[in-house]
Amino acid sequence: MAAIQVQDLRKTFKVQKNREGLKGAFADLFKREYTEVTAVKDISFTIPEGEICGYIGENGAGKSTTIKMLTGILVPTSGVLSVGGYVPYEEREKFVRNIGVVFGQRSQLWWDIGVIESFQLLRKVYRVSEADYKKRLDELVERLALQELLNRPVRKLSLGQRMRCELVAALLHNPSILFLDEPTIGLDIVVKSEIRDFLKDMNREHGTTILLTTHDLQDIEALCSRVIMLDDGRIIYDGGLEELKQRWGTGREVLFQFGSATKLGQLNHWTDGMPVTWSAENDLNAKAWIPLDLNVSDVLGRVVGQADITDIKIIETNTDDIVRSIYQSGSAEKPEEARAEQDGKEVVHV
């Protein structure tokens, strides 16, 4: 059964237009003008139980609006929505007892009271029995090493400490679906990887379905088997991270360090007949660019036997670069293919 099912989901906001100048302000007083802004444009996707799915896109692409509809905060303008067997906006109070939500930029703990008091209050709000609560809290506190923080007031926690507490707060009632809206924003690298490990364990041990939005692609690489990419309210990519890399990563780079001077001409000569592009900063360092359909070991085989090599480094196009170029083009279609369709020509891969 699918944990989250979304069909033609749309959200339109009415935004007040402020006309310019004194005359405009006066006119606004009597007759307001509104512009309609469509934040989410008829998107559809299905997330099966137990999946960790990354939801990415530029600022203002509609990620948060989607999450807010999925969590029952916003009522969609149109479309069909089912999360954990509920229609979120219809039975909000029943529905939210089955989900956990963490907003990286907003705290859901009470500012003035101690962490443990916040947890106690949430226990009652979510109607968790004392026994279940104790077991769950012990497990989470131990896993996230929170023992020393429990009696501190929330306002005295650092961001990293607070974020770990937020996770506990969202998970105390053992939700089957967890929504994370930029959970690692502003955190240092140690806390980030702690949180990633924790989420992975949660998913493995409890089968928790996780949907997370993030701008940190390392979150996605560490956690997600699937990525949904949004641009201007539309889904432009939905699939595995590996496929995305394969589709967009055009090649690999191999860095060579030589023990003795090796000329560029020499290198070109060794890989004669291969579509390899060489560049060199000096005689001791050279870079080879190898297209995807060529085997790296074939190239290495030609070079290794002949040159005096002290170091080799293979660099794959990283996800950041891929995503950046997708954002810039606004489409997940590979540029060559798109062009090919337009021109009606076959692209010959060399």
Partner 1 sequence: MSKMLGVAASSPGGSTRRPDSGGNSRKLLLGAYFDFIRIRFLTMLAYRVNYYSGILIYTLNIGVNYFTWKAIYGDGQALGGFTAAQMTTYVAVSWMARAFYFNNLDREISTDIRDGSIAIQFIRPYNYVLVKMMQGLGEGLFRFMLFMIPGMAIAMLLFPVNLPTEPSAWIGFLVMLFFSFLINSQINVITGLLAFFVENNEGMMRMKRVVVDLFSGLIVPISLFPGWMSSVLEVLPFQAITYLPGSVFTGRVQGVGIWNVLGIQVLWFLLLLIPIVWLYHAARKRLFVQGG
Question: Does 98 engage in binding with partner 1 (CB under 8 A)?
Answer: yes
Q: Which long-range contacts (CB under 8 A, 24 or more apart) does 145-153 make?
A: 146/115, 149/115, 150/114, 150/115, 150/116, 150/119, 151/114, 151/115, 151/116, 152/114, 152/115, 153/111, 153/112, 153/113, 153/114, 153/115
Binding segment toward partner 1, per CB under 8 A, in 206-214, 232-240, 252-260, 266-274: 206-214
Q: How far is the CB of 79 from partner 1 (least distance, A)?
A: 15
Strands 52-57 and 226-231: parallel
DSSP structural state of residue 149: G
Q: Report whether 227 contacts 63 (CB < 8 A).
A: no
25, 27, 80, 125: which one binds partner 1 (CB under 8 A): 125
φ, ψ of residue 236 in degrees (nearest 5):
-105, -15
Q: DSSP state, 333? A: S
107 binds partner 1 (CB under 8 A): yes
Instruction: By CB under 8 A, tell whether 113 contacts partner 1.
Output: yes
Nearer to partner 1, 29 or 189 (CB): 29
Structure-token pair, residue 146? 């929170």
The sheet with strand 33-48 has its strands ordered as 33-48, 2-17, 78-83
Q: Is 72 in the site for partner 1 (CB under 8 A)?
A: yes
**Residue from 9, 81, 128, 195 that binds partner 1 (CB under 8 A)?**
128
Among 24, 44, 85, 246, binds partner 1 (CB under 8 A): 85
Binding window for partner 1 (CB under 8 A); candidates: 95-103, 232-240, 262-270, 312-320: 95-103
Residue 307 corresponds to which tokens in the numbers above? 């040159």
Contact residues toward partner 1 (CB under 8 A) are 1, 3, 13, 16, 49-50, 59-60, 64-65, 68, 71-75, 84-85, 89, 92-94, 96-99, 101, 103, 105-108, 110, 112-113, 117, 120-121, 123-129, 135, 139, 174-177, 205-209
